[in-house]
């Protein structure tokens, strides 16, 4: 039972049951140690905010101007091969470079900076300019999974790479500059903020319980299945209890794997399958090519075995109530904490109708 404290004037606290679908409350994210404010029953308020344009996508199969299409020349002058599956190359405008020399800057512990060596790569998911993950076949997505596994192994093996961040920005709403289906990999020496929070939380939980945080969390979710939206042999897709974005989901491997390289062949196919289910479900939710940022979190590649780390992926989609109304993270959310109106359970029930 979830309880909350009611402080009476006498200073005696009484406990009463929290109604997750009615009471404004905050929820804890054990992966990051952060909180999200949940305000159910607030979605009825009239909307006078920004309405997004939804240009109907009629992309060609091949775009001679696209720097990701097969055979085209990129800004660097390099020409893409006539690839038929996936194609990986070093980003021509990389935010991180492997040859960055080691140096640091420190003034009184307040002005602090370090150089950051790393590698940025682009992964083209398909030669077809007009496809999205949601419209690719499971066999085609499986090739993308293979590429991700190979990249995690290749980049993770480099001595100066301790974190490999695989991600995809889908749609102009999320800042994707090119509709050609592709993702990015940024791999660097110092684990970034989000990974550091999740790393610390999983390590502390493992030390305290001698078990994995996400394995134990999955067991709880499977008791009610209230937030589980899809499932196959290898993966669960669920709306996490602490979701921030309206239709945020998380993919979690059923088997305790610390990274993509820990999946067997069946599980890699299962990952392709659940990616298809989730992205296709998103598309049908608001009848639009659904925008999102997605990415994998897996163990740091610092040489340790990291039994506390459990492979998962986050989907962060910005759409709120329709194809044209998006969620903004502004005001209280920038200054205080994130807030959501529709509960994780209500979002999961909507997603279950479109994800199979």
3-state secondary structure of 319: strand
Q: How far apart are CA 280 and CA 58, in angstroms?
A: 17
At its nearest, how many Å lie between Zn ion and the CB of residue 326? 22
Q: Which is nearer to Zn ion, 229 or 354 (by Cβ)? A: 229
For Zn ion, the closer of residues 212 and 229 by Cβ is 212
Q: Which is nearer to Zn ion, 198 or 267 (CB)?
A: 198
**Least Å distance between CB 316 and Zn ion?**
11
**Are the C-beta atoms of residues 125 and 134 closer than 8 Å to each other?**
no
Number of H helices, E strands in the chain: 6, 18
CB 77 within 8 A of CB 71: no
**How many CB atoms are located within 10 Å of the residue 84 CB?**
10
Partners of 4 in beta bridges: 16
Q: Least distance (Å) from Zn ion to the CB of residue 47?
A: 31
Q: How far apart are CA 24 and CA 33, in angstroms?
A: 20
> Among 180, 182, 297, 312, which one carries the catalytic annotation?
182
Task: Specify the residue, 172 or 323, whose C-beta has the smaller distance to Zn ion.
Answer: 172
178 CA to centre of own chain: 19
Q: How far is the CB of 305 from Zn ion (least distance, A)?
A: 13
> Would you say 30 or 318 has its CB closer to Zn ion?
30
Binding site for Zn ion (CB under 5 A): 63, 66, 68-69, 129, 180, 198, 212, 214-215, 256, 297, 310
Task: Please name which of 316, 325, 31, 351 lies closest in space to residue 194, comparing C-alpha atoms.
Answer: 31
310 a catalytic residue: no
Provide the minimum distance between the beta carbon of 46 and Zn ion in the complex, in angstroms, as a whole number.
35
Q: How far apart are CA 104 and CA 122, in angstroms?
A: 29
From the list 319, 312, 355, the residue with the least C-alpha distance to 340 is: 319
Written as six digits, the tokens of 34 are: 């952060």
* Residues with catalytic roles: 182
């Amino acid at each position: 039972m979830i309880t909350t404290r009611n402080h009476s004037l006498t200073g005696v606290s009484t406990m009463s049951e929290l109604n997750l679908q009615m009471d404004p409350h905050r929820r804890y994210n054990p992966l990051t140690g952060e909180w999200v404010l949940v305000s159910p029953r607030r979605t009825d308020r009239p909307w006078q905010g920004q309405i997004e344009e939804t240009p109907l996508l009629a992309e060609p199969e091949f775009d001679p101007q696209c720097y990701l299409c097969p055979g085209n020349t990129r800004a660097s002058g390099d020409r893409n091969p006539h690839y038929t599956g996936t194609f990986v190359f070093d980003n021509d405008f990389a935010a991180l470079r492997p040859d960055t020399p080691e140096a640091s800057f420190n003034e009184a512990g307040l002005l602090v900076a370090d150089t950051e060596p790393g590698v940025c790569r682009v992964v083209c998911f398909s030669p077809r300019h007009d496809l999205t993950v949601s419209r690719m076949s499971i066999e085609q997505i499986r090739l993308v999974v293979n590429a991700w596994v190979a990249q995690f192994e290749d980049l993770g093996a480099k001595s100066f790479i301790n974190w490999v961040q695989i991600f995809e920005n889908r749609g102009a709403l999320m800042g994707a500059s090119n509709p050609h289906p592709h993702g990015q990999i940024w791999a660097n020496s110092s684990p970034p903020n989000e990974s550091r929070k999740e790393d610390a939380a999983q390590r502390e939980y493992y030390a305290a319980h001698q078990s994995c945080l996400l394995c134990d969390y999955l067991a709880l979710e499977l008791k009610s299945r209230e937030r589980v939206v899809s499932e196959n042999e290898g993966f669960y897709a669920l709306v996490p209890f602490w979701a921030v974005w309206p239709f945020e989901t998380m993919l979690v491997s059923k088997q305790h794997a610390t990274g993509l390289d820990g999946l067997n062949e069946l599980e890699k196919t299962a990952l392709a399958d659940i990616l298809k289910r989730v992205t296709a479900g998103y598309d049908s939710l608001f009848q639009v090519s659904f925008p999102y940022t997605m990415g994998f979190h897996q163990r740091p590649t610092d040489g340790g075995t990291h039994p506390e780390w459990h492979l998962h992926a986050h989907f962060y989609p910005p759409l709120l109530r329709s194809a044209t109304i998006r969620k903004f993270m502004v005001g209280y959310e920038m200054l205080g904490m994130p807030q959501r109106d529709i509960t994780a359970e209500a979002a999961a029930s909507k997603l279950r109708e479109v994800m199979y």
